[in-house]
Amino acid sequence: MKTFYLSPNSKDLVIEGGQFKTIDGRGKLEQDLRCIIMERFNSDPYISGFGSTFSDMIGDDYDPSLLKANITTEVLRVLHSYQTQQLRRLDYEKWQIGSTDESYMSQLVQSRSELIDQIRAIEVDIRDRRAYVSIVVTTKEQDEVELSSGQIVLSLG
């Protein structure tokens, strides 16, 4: 399913050839995960439960091992929430198509390359009052998608 492409640096929409640039597949999954993790929890009035609670974890005094565990748990919650949303959309699309078997996969609006199949790894590295988060997921196409620690950086105060 295509969505608008956001510049990784400015987070702004990108215009190419007089049109908004779009993105789908693996790139869409990467962009969606970065956006949902970096967005403040419940800040979107149209999507209840969207975002993460990382801003609530920021403070002057923190135990690095406890903070690392809290961040890992929150990333896992966000990924599961996103995956649940994908599965609900998949069920809805399957219902719209009227399919009762696996043949519906070729008719989906969502691409198999943007559907999370498995959460493979979550790593958190805390240094210099920042948390660097790395995530690895596998898609339904069995592609490995990695968001490296340079893509998700949380300032700790």
Give 43-61 pLDDT, tens digit per residue. Answer: 777 777 778 887 777 665 6
Q: Which residues contact 90 (CB under 8 A, 6 or more apart)?
A: 108, 110, 115
Instruction: Tell me: pLDDT of 117 over 60.
Output: yes
Q: b/e string for 16-36 if b means 16 or more Cβ within 10 A? A: eeeeeeebbbbebbbbbbbeb
Residue 56's domain comprises: 3-155
pLDDT confidence of residue 4: 60
pLDDT confidence of residue 121: 95
- Mean pLDDT for the chain overall: 79
Q: Specify the higher pLDDT residue, 135 or 93.
A: 135
Model confidence over 74-110: pLDDT tens digits?
999 999 988 888 888 877 777 666 766 565 555 555 6
pLDDT band at 30 (very low <50, low <70, confident <90, very high): confident
pTM of this prediction exceeds 0.85: no
Q: In this structure, are residues 152 and 37 in contact, taking their beta carbons and an 8 Å threshold?
A: yes
Q: In this structure, are residues 141 and 118 in contact, taking their beta carbons and an 8 Å threshold?
A: no
The whole-number average pLDDT for the span 31-41 is 82
CATH number at residue 108: 3.10.450.40
Q: How many separate domains does the chain show?
A: 1
